């Protein structure tokens, strides 16, 4: 397995780039998040096209060229110590063939985001760099807990992560250890068969999603099955499954772990014996606890679930 590089911890006063690699955002949607960065004694530096809006069947945060320019600036500028995506949406796949890591490789920095940012995190991991799967700067309609952001700053400050969560009736008990991969299921699915897909062998896979019909969820899980993913992984962590199927929009936190979605996944992987966790608090949910993509994880699934990062 390729040695994974973990970016260095930040110091007070360090600069954090805020960019929009996918969907468009309004300034009012980022005000609280940008102010939070300042309140933590870091300096937010806004990408040139952070608030651009380019309509082409979807409202992107600028043209592909503009978004590529912003991400490459953030990755390679020596004065930037971390990169925080404003939001997900759609559009990160447009950037993959033009990402430049020349200077980044000599000065790695944390990339923070989730949802559509899964493809950027897969790209970074394939090149040997860990990233943070956590809340974006823009808060969604369901809100976000203060702890969700604080956990990201904990990682930036060099602290390790360990979670203990309650058990779920569908959990499959067991112990495993391996590199954590994954993120948004739709993007994991979209990258299958490409040069940018995660490597699954001996990894622990995390998945979450939002707004998918149940047949679409089944299609994605079936694609992973047909690609041999479940024969390769050591364990599976299922996060938020929000607004799935016919569930009403703007679900509250308590509605963010759709039990039919969990049951569907459980039925599909029933023949495998690796440990499985359902209802982990990460995803398009209020309690969005940070994970390290590329981090080494010890997963223990018993009456209580523990997930410990050891890097």
* Residues assigned a catalytic role: 115, 208, 284
User: In sequence order, which residues have a C-beta less than 8 Å from that of residue 108 and are 6 or more positions away?
Assistant: 5, 6, 7, 8, 129
User: Residue 260 burial by CB count (10 A; 0-12/13-18/19+): exposed, middle or buried?
Assistant: middle
Q: How many CA atoms lie within 13 A of 125 on its CB side?
A: 28
Do residues 242 and 258 lie in contact, with contact meaning Cβ atoms separated by under 8 Å? yes
d(CA 165, CA 277): 10
Q: What is the CA radius of gyration of the chain?
A: 18
Could you tell me which residues come within 8 angstroms of residue 6 by beta carbon, excluding any fewer than 6 positions away? 108, 130, 292, 294, 295, 311
From the CB of residue 248, how many other CB atoms can be counted at a distance below 10 Å?
Answer: 8
The residue among 82, 88, 57, 59 whose CA lies nearest residue 208 is 88
- Token pair in block for residue 243: 């607004």
CB 238 within 8 A of CB 265: yes
């Amino acid at each position: 397995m390729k040695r994974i590089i973990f970016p260095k911890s930040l110091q007070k006063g360090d600069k954090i780039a805020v960019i929009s690699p996918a969907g468009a955002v309004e300034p009012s949607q980022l005000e609280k998040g940008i102010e939070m960065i300042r309140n933590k004694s870091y300096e937010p530096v806004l990408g040139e096209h952070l608030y651009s809006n380019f309509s082409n069947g979807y409202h992107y945060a600028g043209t592909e060229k503009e978004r590529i320019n912003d991400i490459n600036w953030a990755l390679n500028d020596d004065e930037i110590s971390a990169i925080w995506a404003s939001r997900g949406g759609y559009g990160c796949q447009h950037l993959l063939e033009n990402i430049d890591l020349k200077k980044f490789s000599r000065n790695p920095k944390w990339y923070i985001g989730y949802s559509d940012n899964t493809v950027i995190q897969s790209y970074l991991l394939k090149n040997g760099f860990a990233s943070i799967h956590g809340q974006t700067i823009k808060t969604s309609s369901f809100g976000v807990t203060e702890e969700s952001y604080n956990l990201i700053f904990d990682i930036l400050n060099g602290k390790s992560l360990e979670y203990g969560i309650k058990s779920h009736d569908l959990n499959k008990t067991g112990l495993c250890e391996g590199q954590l991969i994954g993120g948004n299921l739709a993007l994991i699915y979209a990258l299958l068969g490409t040069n940018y897909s995660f490597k699954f062998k001996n990894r622990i896979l995390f998945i979450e999603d939002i707004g998918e019909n149940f047949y679409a969820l089944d299609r994605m899980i079936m694609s992973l099955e047909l690609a041999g993913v479940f024969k390769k992984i050591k364990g599976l962590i299922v996060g938020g499954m929000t607004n799935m199927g016919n569930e009403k929009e703007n679900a509250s936190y308590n509605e963010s772990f759709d039990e039919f979605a969990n049951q569907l996944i459980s039925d599909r992987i029933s023949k495998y014996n690796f440990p499985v966790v359902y209802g982990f608090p990460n995803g398009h949910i209020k309690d969005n606890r940070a994970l390290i993509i590329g981090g080494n994880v010890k997963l223990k699934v018993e009456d209580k679930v523990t997930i410990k990062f050891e890097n």
